[in-house]
Amino acid sequence: MIQNTEKYRKFGLKLTPQRLAILRYLDGNKSHPSAEDIYNAVSKEFTTMSFATVYNTLEVLREKGILRELKIEPGKKRYDPDTTPHHHLICIKCKKLIDIYKRFKLTLPEDIAREFEILGNHIEFYGVCPECKQRNSQ
């Protein structure tokens, strides 16, 4: 994480010990955690840290393009520190998310494509993961 400190400074981030702990937790994290997940993990190290600190830090990181906000579940945002183009596969039972690194050729209707400048896309696939399938069959 020390080598990434300069990367985050280039984004103009004030690197407080609490922010560094949040960044350390997110670095390479594939679980797509919620703000609550991050708070629960990081507050063990910083017992006086507030949930607002975590949430505000996540908002700053999202605004700077350092992480993506996912709105998979109603009323619960999850965060993805992997900002490279990819899609997600979501278990409808346990809400596990899996990254899908594959390009899909999508074409929009001509009248819509003419009106918009397309900047990217994100596809969500829904299903039941192997663990939940096995639990349901027992």
Over the chain (138 residues), the average pLDDT of each successive run of 10 is 64 86 92 96 93 95 92 89 94 94 89 85 94 88
| Look-up of token digits 């993805």 | 80
Q: What pLDDT was estimated at residue 130?
A: 95
Burial of 21 (0-12, 13-18, 19+ CB in 10 A): buried
Domain 87-137 is of which CATH architecture?
2-Layer Sandwich (3.30)
| CATH match for 2-80 among 3.40.50.10140, 1.10.10.10, 3.50.4.10, 3.30.70.520 | 1.10.10.10
Structural domain boundaries of the chain?
2-80, 87-137
Q: Give the Cα separation of 81 and 88 in Å (integer).
A: 13
Q: What pLDDT was estimated at residue 1?
A: 42
- Diameter of the chain by CA atoms? 55
Q: What pLDDT was estimated at residue 2?
A: 43
Global confidence as pTM: 0.83
**Cα atoms in the Cβ-side hemisphere of radius 13 Å centred on 51:** 5
Q: What pLDDT was estimated at residue 75?
A: 85
